[in-house]
Homo-oligomer: A and B are copies of this chain.
């Protein structure tokens, strides 16, 4: 039915091998035949069958992604679409397509990865969501199959990962607030079992201690990414007699929630309290006051991930490495020096 390389060969009066070599720009093919063959390809509307090609070259020019499950922390809308965009765009520009799969349960997810890898469907894999002691990781590592991990870099030393330095980012923010004159600085984290929560907290701690400021337990809150949680925390904040003059939150949503709830309690941001967010979502820019936040370079993370993965696949002089994407502090209206008191 479909036009194959043999049809082209026949019509051009050459052998299939020659056509194949024309396609791959083999240097040994003469100008003349090359032109002739290309013309026929055009006429016949020939397109190589990728499957057959992959079968013999053992290479698919596909990279696989396992979609995080909805419950997963990584499925924060903003993060997800940005990183996918980074991945697909970079992949496309390198001649790769992206094969996405998912599993309803952790077990099915492992099955899916196995199928991708063993079925020779992809040349490499991006692990977007990963747990501690991830079965996927040990599997891929054992198979020596090229893969790159996004996030969680410090849990594994011998595999390639792309991450941002959450410790450094939180440290910079905290330092900046201190330099502005803040001494009572609150911290609102997400669930502490998330690495990002922990890391950002560590950065906060580090900056405080370095400045000779003691960590106050009652300035540290553990929340979830819901408005309710934010409201609850804000209520507690308001009740404090030695209320912080600035609050660092681990996500723009939290920052937004806190700002709103403080406001409900008659406190203004930034006049009465500065608030900083994280992740530079559109929310941060959209609301009033515009929220100071950290751009963690999600799009670029996607790009770098693919770049590393492709190097890994190609294998030329590739070494495992932790790749750290630079963050950028974005100062907006929600922060100012504390009132003199």
Contact = CB atoms under 8 A, between A and B. Distances in A.
A128 to B, nearest CB: 12
B118 A89 contact: no
A256 B286 contact: yes
Contact of A286 (B48, B108, B119, B253): B253
> Interface SS of chain A: helix, strand, loop or mixed?
helix
Interface stretch (A77-85, A187-195, A196-204): A77-85
Given A75-B81, A119-B48, A256-B286, A98 B100 contact: yes
A62 interface: yes
A108 B92 CA distance: 10
A283 B285 contact: no
A335 interface: no
A259 to B, nearest CB: 10
B97 A101 contact: yes
Nearest to A68: B85
Question: What's the number of copies of this chain in the assembled complex?
Answer: 2
A115 B45 CA distance: 12
Nearest to A53: B119
Interface residues of A, number: 55
B120 A51 contact: yes
Contacts of A119: 47-51
B99 A47 contact: no
Interface in A75-132: 75, 77-78, 80-82, 84-85, 88-89, 92-93, 97-104, 108, 112, 114-116, 118-121
Nearest to A65: B100
B101 A92 contact: yes
Contacts of A47: 114-115, 118-119
A86 to B, nearest CB: 10
A227 B104 contact: no
A31 interface: no
B104 A92 contact: yes
A62 B121 CA distance: 10
A67 interface: yes
Interface of A: 2, 47-52, 54-55, 60, 62, 67, 70, 75, 77-78, 80-82, 84-85, 88-89, 92-93, 97-104, 108, 112, 114-116, 118-121, 227, 253, 256-257, 260, 263-264, 282-283, 285-288
